[in-house]
């Protein structure tokens, strides 16, 4: 019996180690068009706890269904826990989404989704995906910290379709630290390198940009179908 208990205990330790707190991106079995097999609810609220306070973000699928399906899967799998606002530009945007665990960052590289049409303007508090060209949205998003319409609604003819908006805690956006990336149209400062962040993770940010703000946790707290 003693030997059996020992073997069982060791087996449980091995299982716990394999299922540790490190995130492993579950949605790697995507259809060829880049959408997840599980669709998001019609709308849902996300509690986003940051180093400057809590925001409640209401996400609406009819605004941008492909983007919302991806965001819902990311939040459900705790992807944004301990993710930094690595590009916060005063009077412009607060961008996030490069994972601090380099293994997770590598796993998501190239996991792009198709574009959605812009149905809602990029006003202050709305949440949109960052992109580098057509059909290039992946896991990086930004909050509009001011009204960026119509510029971001039509940029390069594609625009940035919002997927949701802050319904409570908008003051958190105003308080995010923007010292490392300057202001739009004004003096700019050398902010975090996205390549370095992808390769070195949050250790790079803590070493060179110690006062950045982070998303601590975010959870779906309510949904409507």
Domain of 75, CATH number, reads 2.40.100.10
Q: Determine, yes or no, domain membership for 10.
A: no
Q: Determine, yes or no, domain membership for 24.
A: no
Summarize pLDDT for 92-142 with one digit per residue, the tens.
999 999 999 999 998 888 899 999 999 999 999 999 999 999 999 999 999
Q: Determine, yes or no, domain membership for 54.
A: yes
- At 102 the pLDDT is 94
Strand ranges across the sheet with 141-144: 83-84, 214-224, 43-50, 53-60, 162-168, 126-129, 141-144, 93-96, 87-89
- At 185 the pLDDT is 52
The number of domains in the chain is 1
Confidence (pTM): 0.83
And the tokens for 201?
């993770």
Q: Determine, yes or no, domain membership for 180.
A: yes
Summarize pLDDT for 139-191 with one digit per residue, the tens.
999 999 999 999 999 998 899 999 999 999 999 999 999 999 865 455 566 78
Nearest-angstrom CA–CA distance, 106 and 100: 11
Task: Outline where the chain has alpha helix (H).
Answer: 2-18, 65-76, 102-108, 151-154, 170-175, 194-200, 202-208
- At 78 the pLDDT is 93
Q: Which residue from 218, 220, 196 is spatially nearest to 208, judged by alpha carbons?
A: 196
Q: Determine, yes or no, domain membership for 163.
A: yes
Task: Outline where 19-88 has alpha helix (H).
Answer: 65-76
Nearest-angstrom CA–CA distance, 28 and 146: 34
Summarize pLDDT for 14-47 with one digit per residue, the tens.
332 333 334 444 443 344 444 445 789 999 999 9
User: Are residues 45 and 223 in contact, defined by beta-carbon separation less than 8 angstroms?
Assistant: yes
């Amino acid at each position: 019996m003693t030997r059996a208990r020992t073997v069982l205990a060791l087996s449980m330790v091995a299982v716990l180690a394999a299922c540790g707190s490190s995130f492993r991106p579950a949605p790697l079995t995507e259809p060829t068009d880049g959408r997840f097999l599980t669709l998001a609810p019609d709308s849902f609220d996300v509690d986003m706890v940051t180093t400057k306070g809590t925001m409640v973000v209401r996400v609406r699928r009819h605004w941008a269904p492909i983007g919302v399906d991806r965001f819902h899967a990311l939040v459900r799998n705790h992807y944004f826990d301990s993710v930094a606002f690595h590009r916060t530009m005063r009077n412009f945007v607060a961008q996030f989404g490069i994972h601090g665990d380099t293994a997770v960052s590598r796993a998501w590289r190239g996991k792009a989704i198709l574009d959605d049409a812009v149905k809602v303007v990029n006003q202050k508090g709305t949440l949109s995906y960052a992109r580098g060209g057509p059909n290039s949205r992946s896991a990086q998003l930004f909050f509009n910290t001011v009204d960026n319409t119509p510029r971001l609604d039509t940029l390069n003819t594609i625009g940035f379709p919002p997927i949701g908006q802050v319904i409570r805690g908008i003051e958190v956006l105003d308080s995010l630290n923007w010292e490392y990336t300057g202001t739009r149209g004004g003096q700019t400062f050398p902010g975090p390198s996205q390549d370095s962040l992808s390769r070195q993770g949050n250790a790079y940010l803590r070493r060179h940009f110690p006062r950045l703000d982070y998303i601590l946790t975010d959870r779906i707290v309510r949904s409507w179908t």
